[in-house]
Amino acid sequence: MIAAKASYFARTALGGMWRDPFVHVIAIASLAIALVGFGLARIAGAQIDALVSALGGEVELTVYLKDGTPAEEVKKLEAALAQRTGGVARTVSPAEALGRLSEQLGPQGQALTELGANPLPWSVEVTLPPQLRDLASLQALAQTLRALTFVEAVDYGADALERLAALSKGLKLASVVAFAIVFLTTIVVVSATLQLAIYSRREEIEIQKLVGATNRFVRAPFLLEGMVQGLLSAVLATLALWALVTWAAPRAAGMLGFLALPKGSQLMSTRLMVELLLLGLAMGLSGSVVAVRRFLRV
Partner 1 sequence: MIQMFHVTKAFGNDPPTLMDINLDIQKGEFVFLTGPSGAGKTTLLKLVFLAERATRGQVLVSGRNVARLRESGIPYLRRNIGVVFQDFKLLPNRSVAENVGFALDVIGTPRELVRQKALKILKRVGLEHKANVLPPKLSGGEQQRVVIARALVNDPAILLADEPTGNLDPALTVEIMDLLCDVNARGTTVVVATHDASLIERYHKRTLRLERGTLVSEERGAKAALLMVQG
* Binding region for partner 1 (CB under 8 A): 1-5, 7-8, 203-204, 206-215, 217
Radius of gyration (C-alpha) of the chain in whole angstroms: 31
**Please, which residue, 210 or 255, has the CB nearer to partner 1?**
210
Shortest separation between residue 20's beta carbon and partner 1, angstroms: 12
Which of helix, strand or coil describes residue 122? coil
Shortest separation between residue 25's beta carbon and partner 1, angstroms: 21
DSSP per residue, 186-243: HHHHHHHHHHHHHHHTHHHHHHHHHTT--HHHHHHHHHHHHHHHHHHHHHHHHHHHHH
Beta strand segments in the chain, E:
61-65, 88-92, 123-127, 151-155
Q: In what order do the strands lie in the sheet with 151-155?
A: 88-92, 123-127, 61-65, 151-155
Shortest separation between residue 212's beta carbon and partner 1, angstroms: 4
Looking at residue 132, what DSSP letter applies? G
**Please, which residue, 115 or 207, has the CB nearer to partner 1?**
207
Shortest separation between residue 285's beta carbon and partner 1, angstroms: 22
**Please, which residue, 3 or 260, has the CB nearer to partner 1?**
3
Shortest separation between residue 214's beta carbon and partner 1, angstroms: 5
**Please, which residue, 42 or 201, has the CB nearer to partner 1?**
201
Instruction: Return the bridge partners of 23, or none.
Output: none
**Please, which residue, 159 or 203, has the CB nearer to partner 1?**
203
Shortest separation between residue 201's beta carbon and partner 1, angstroms: 9
**Please, which residue, 3 or 255, has the CB nearer to partner 1?**
3
Q: Which of 201, 186, 203 is nearest to 290 (CA)?
A: 186
